[in-house]
Chain A
């Protein structure tokens, strides 16, 4: 018997989707909404990436060739904002929508209507943000970290719309997270105990906590900006007894957890893929869970490592240096566990595995540069140079982004019932792998040599690195357009996939046929230690 209570009073079978555009506008189905999130984030990725390519084109050689400094700043700012809030985060939420219900053995998300709402806010919020680029005075030009007073007293009028855009994105993330938490805590099939949940579910549970904790703080920060701009308050103005640095503290209290929000789900994905293709159970499941939790905890007490140069008292500098360095320990545990999972496995190297291995190596390199940045005295030399840009692109692009690409290659057969053409997938991998390193590795050098961030033009000493970096950027960029081609080709004409798809795959989602039915589990499956993850 189906335990699904049916809301329908009309007789057409609600297990199939509605037809046409209405399906996407009105859907309450976790798979449809997941798909919407994923396509939305990919479009945002192309837009943000195009901005990155504009940046790289201008930086191809010294002098101003294509854009004026004013516009360059808008590109930098919106590139950062769109990639972080428009590309990476929605992509992870989309994956959570697709996978969490399947992985915990539920038919859908806990609150399907709110799920639709949290998605549809995003296209509106981002069109509002992008609109500002075409308004009088131009769009946000104060960096994605929008430090006051550049973002208040000295900002273009459009900052008001930017602020409300952030409010709306925040609301969307909070509702999305509440939904995910409710699903995980409340919709698990019998026998799916906490310590049996797949790590992707675990990492997302913790990520959702982080989001609910810090998104409102960001909302508070932009609200204070709004008041400084329009209502004459002086939160961020020393003349009125406030302090511009206060803005940075509040922003980074949000901002640092935010960067882990962009990596914890990635850890979950990699922890799912590596065991599959090593045909060996994930090493140290428990320590993986505890490591994730401790990273989340630590992420609340390290924020000021972004502010070592604002002139904090010595005690503060030392505290934030030590706490930041500590994060290397739980993260290390994860890296070592992944290596141990591969060790003495029986590995094959399908596209998802290639991206996962590249993730482990390149993310670790990004982690190392992060650790160097954590060393306060050295950070005085690194801060706001391209060394920082290199650091965070290593953790974000071959980190967060590669994990998302890996996830798509890994679960796409489950979603659409068709296999990816390995030849195309591997081509995409090698193009991306080479492109990303050619783009971002030289930036370590230009940074150490003293090239500041957020500049449209630079001294002659940095010319070579920037030329290389720009070439890499275009290789990488266009290989992502190729990615789009591979995905569409698979959906259209890939070879049919089996239910298990990958020889070594374990977990509830693989018990379902491919493509997965519209409502994942209409009756809760029996979960045992074996099939849980």
Chain B
């Protein structure tokens, strides 16, 4: 049979030449053993290497339990692998036609087949017990010290601190802070490339924080690896999460559900602070927050509007309409010379407030304050050679909002 003769130059044979030379069986054993211990050692060192190669141990009780579970299952699988692959390699090395081995004729054994049905089942039960325990612990969302609503937008996060009767006492958006230049290689990438935001979520350590996770447009997912928690943020649905962080520090994660164009560009940064420090920060922020609510009664100069407007634009609009207002037609229309932008003020504001159904243009009414909307509208109407000459003030936005009721 011609194929058989080719086996002299068989690939596996070349790989295990050492083994073959030193006499079939003995050599086989040593090689097989060396090979497998090699692999196991490799994995062990790899994981000793630390977080860059393995799941982070994290800073919550849950995250540590999950880590231990992960390693337990992992080593069980490695053990089974050593047995199975060991058997394969052993028989590949020794049960070769070229050694004149006569094939055995048996081809079933009820006892064996039962054994390798039952033993894996037992192993699985051993795995299932701790897994169940951890899962139940994770689902215990009650008894929280504070509640934060986490809301996903294309492509940023909104954080709302809720008081005892679930009313917003502080809210802000959290946008990617990495400049586009770093992405396009125009400037060196910083240490926290793509993992940095303008406004991190701040929470106190040692307090049970309950998160209500939802979304505004499509499904996103909120994940902080060091807390060992991840949950989908689903429009119209609330998912619950909780965490008690034990060490202060800055913890970074990313959106983990495909949510469109910039899915890769909506990081999560959580700043866990000492209780006292947090309380101080919170009190101060709440003051500012209340103060900002009065901005809508102010009137601004052209310069102020342009300055604020540019800030808002680069944060919220530039990712689609581009910093130069040229957009990416046909998906993201250009604003330079756009009939909406150059058209009547009210129409322009309306698009910003309520978005455009069925397009990527989302409603910013709930994300931006009146003064911010006014500023960005004014900016667009006077930037990149657009010049409508008119002035847009928060009052215009307030008027339109109240008209819509």
**Chain A, 333-376, contact with B by CB distance < 8 Å: what is the 0/1 string?**
10111011111111111100010010011001100100110011
Binds A, one of B6-14, B20-28, B298-306: B6-14
**Given contacts A339-B91, A350-B6, A457-B194, is CB(A449)–CB(B52) below 8 Å?**
yes
Interface positions, chain A 419-454, Cβ under 8 Å from B, are: 419, 422-423, 426, 429-430, 445, 448-450, 452-454
Closest Cβ–Cβ distance, residue A138 to chain B (whole Å):
7
Q: Is the CB of A311 within 8 A of B237?
A: yes
Closest Cβ–Cβ distance, residue A152 to chain B (whole Å):
10
- B107 at the binding interface (Cβ < 8 Å): yes
- B33 at the binding interface (Cβ < 8 Å): no
Contacts of B264 in A (CB 8 A): 69, 452, 454-458
Residue from A147, A341, A357, A381 within 8 A of B230 (CB atoms): A381
- B183 at the binding interface (Cβ < 8 Å): yes
Contacts of A361 in B (CB 8 A): 85, 88
Q: Is the CB of B259 within 8 A of A350?
A: no
Contacts of A239 in B (CB 8 A): 236
**Within the assembled complex, what's the spacing in Å between the Cα atoms of A132 and B73?**
43
Q: Is the CB of B51 within 8 A of A344?
A: no
**Within the assembled complex, what's the spacing in Å between the Cα atoms of A318 and B139?**
12
Contacts of A371 in B (CB 8 A): 73, 77, 127
Binds A, one of B92-100, B161-169, B202-210: B92-100
**Chain B, 111-147, contact with A by CB distance < 8 Å: what is the 0/1 string?**
0110011001100100110011011101100000000
- A10 at the binding interface (Cβ < 8 Å): no
- B250 at the binding interface (Cβ < 8 Å): no
- B80 at the binding interface (Cβ < 8 Å): yes
**Within the assembled complex, what's the spacing in Å between the Cα atoms of A245 and B239?**
12
**Within the assembled complex, what's the spacing in Å between the Cα atoms of A208 and B286?**
62
**Within the assembled complex, what's the spacing in Å between the Cα atoms of A354 and B121?**
30
Closest residue of B by beta carbon distance from A364:
B84
Contacts of B189 in A (CB 8 A): 62-63, 460
Q: Is the CB of A461 within 8 A of B52?
A: yes
**Within the assembled complex, what's the spacing in Å between the Cα atoms of A12 and B256?**
63
Residue from B73, B81, B234 within 8 A of A375 (CB atoms): B73
A interface residues, tally (CB under 8 Å): 107
Number of A-B contacts (CB under 8 A): 312
- A237 at the binding interface (Cβ < 8 Å): yes
Q: Is the CB of A329 within 8 A of B219?
A: no
**Given contacts A143-B258, A333-B113, A426-B10, is CB(A372)–CB(B70) below 8 Å?**
yes
Residue from B7, B66, B108 within 8 A of A284 (CB atoms): B108
**Within the assembled complex, what's the spacing in Å between the Cα atoms of A368 and B124?**
12
**Within the assembled complex, what's the spacing in Å between the Cα atoms of A237 and B236?**
8
Closest Cβ–Cβ distance, residue B276 to chain A (whole Å):
31
**Given contacts A343-B91, A371-B77, is CB(A448)–CB(B55) below 8 Å?**
yes
Closest Cβ–Cβ distance, residue B332 to chain A (whole Å):
9
- A7 at the binding interface (Cβ < 8 Å): no
Q: Is the CB of A142 within 8 A of B225?
A: no
**Within the assembled complex, what's the spacing in Å between the Cα atoms of A346 and B259?**
54
Contacts of B183 in A (CB 8 A): 63-64, 457
- A314 at the binding interface (Cβ < 8 Å): yes
**Within the assembled complex, what's the spacing in Å between the Cα atoms of A73 and B185?**
21
**Chain B, 193-224, contact with A by CB distance < 8 Å: what is the 0/1 string?**
11100000000000000000100011101010
Binds B, one of A13-21, A258-266, A273-281: A273-281
Q: Is the CB of A328 within 8 A of B131?
A: no
Closest residue of A by beta carbon distance from B71:
A378
Contacts of A325 in B (CB 8 A): 124, 127-128
- B263 at the binding interface (Cβ < 8 Å): yes
- B325 at the binding interface (Cβ < 8 Å): no
Closest residue of A by beta carbon distance from B6:
A422
**Chain A, 183-213, contact with B by CB distance < 8 Å: what is the 0/1 string?**
0000000000000000000000000000000
Closest Cβ–Cβ distance, residue A74 to chain B (whole Å):
11
Interface positions, chain B 48-64, Cβ under 8 Å from A, are: 51-56
Contacts of A321 in B (CB 8 A): 128, 131-132, 135
**Given contacts A378-B70, A452-B254, is CB(A283)–CB(B124) below 8 Å?**
no
**Within the assembled complex, what's the spacing in Å between the Cα atoms of A62 and B113?**
50
Contacts of B1 in A (CB 8 A): 502-503
- B255 at the binding interface (Cβ < 8 Å): yes
Q: Is the CB of B11 within 8 A of A454?
A: no
Q: Is the CB of B330 within 8 A of A136?
A: yes
Contacts of A422 in B (CB 8 A): 3, 6, 9
**Within the assembled complex, what's the spacing in Å between the Cα atoms of A503 and B54?**
47
Q: Is the CB of A452 within 8 A of B256?
A: yes
- B103 at the binding interface (Cβ < 8 Å): yes
- B291 at the binding interface (Cβ < 8 Å): no
Q: Is the CB of B360 within 8 A of A154?
A: yes
**Within the assembled complex, what's the spacing in Å between the Cα atoms of A285 and B328?**
60
Q: Is the CB of B256 within 8 A of A385?
A: yes
Contacts of B239 in A (CB 8 A): 310-311
Contacts of A143 in B (CB 8 A): 258
**Within the assembled complex, what's the spacing in Å between the Cα atoms of A282 and B104?**
11
Residue from A64, A284, A456, A501 within 8 A of B184 (CB atoms): A64
**Within the assembled complex, what's the spacing in Å between the Cα atoms of A478 and B234?**
41
Q: Is the CB of B66 within 8 A of A342?
A: no
Closest Cβ–Cβ distance, residue B404 to chain A (whole Å):
18
Residue from A243, A326, A360, A454 within 8 A of B88 (CB atoms): A360
Closest residue of A by beta carbon distance from B213:
A311
Q: Is the CB of A342 within 8 A of B236?
A: no
**Given contacts A73-B260, A278-B103, A361-B88, is CB(A378)–CB(B231) below 8 Å?**
no
Q: Is the CB of A329 within 8 A of B124?
A: yes
Q: Is the CB of A309 within 8 A of B231?
A: yes
Q: Is the CB of A346 within 8 A of B7?
A: no
Of A68, A142, A326, A383, the most chain B CB neighbours within 10 A belong to A383
Q: Is the CB of A244 within 8 A of B53?
A: no
**Within the assembled complex, what's the spacing in Å between the Cα atoms of A342 and B117?**
19
Closest Cβ–Cβ distance, residue A498 to chain B (whole Å):
8
- B280 at the binding interface (Cβ < 8 Å): no
Q: Is the CB of B103 within 8 A of A62?
A: no
**Given contacts A278-B103, A311-B232, A445-B53, is CB(A286)–CB(B330) below 8 Å?**
no
- A377 at the binding interface (Cβ < 8 Å): yes
- A124 at the binding interface (Cβ < 8 Å): no
Residue from A280, A287, A377, A449 within 8 A of B65 (CB atoms): A377
Q: Is the CB of B3 within 8 A of A318?
A: no
**Given contacts A377-B135, A502-B1, is CB(A73)–CB(B258) below 8 Å?**
yes
**Chain A, 119-160, contact with B by CB distance < 8 Å: what is the 0/1 string?**
000000000000000001110011100010110011010000
Contacts of B230 in A (CB 8 A): 309, 380-381, 383
**Given contacts A285-B107, A384-B257, is CB(A449)–CB(B191) below 8 Å?**
no
22 A-B pairs, CB-CB below 8 angstroms?
Answer: A64-B183, A70-B328, A73-B260, A149-B218, A238-B237, A244-B237, A311-B237, A318-B135, A321-B128, A321-B131, A325-B127, A339-B91, A342-B88, A344-B103, A345-B104, A346-B95, A350-B4, A364-B85, A371-B77, A378-B73, A383-B230, A449-B54
A interface residues (Cβ-Cβ under 8 A, vs B): 62-65, 68-70, 73, 136-138, 141-143, 147, 149-150, 153-154, 156, 237-239, 243-245, 278-287, 309-311, 314, 317-318, 321-322, 325-326, 328-329, 332-333, 335-337, 339-350, 354, 357, 360-361, 364-365, 368, 371-372, 375-378, 380-381, 383-385, 419, 422-423, 426, 429-430, 445, 448-450, 452-461, 495, 501-503
B interface residues (Cβ-Cβ under 8 A, vs A): 1-4, 6-7, 9-13, 46, 51-56, 65-66, 69-70, 73-74, 77, 80-81, 84-85, 87-88, 91-92, 95-98, 101-105, 107-109, 112-113, 116-117, 120-121, 124, 127-128, 131-132, 134-136, 138-139, 154, 182-185, 189, 191-195, 213, 217-219, 221, 223, 225, 228-232, 234-237, 239-240, 253-265, 328, 330-331, 358, 360
What 10 pairs across the A-B complex have the smallest Cβ distances? A238-B236, A455-B264, A311-B239, A422-B6, A281-B107, A344-B104, A368-B77, A503-B1, A346-B103, A384-B256
Q: A347-B97, A368-B80, A455-B263 are in contact. List 6 more A-B contacts (CB 8 A).
A: A279-B103, A311-B234, A321-B131, A357-B12, A380-B228, A448-B54
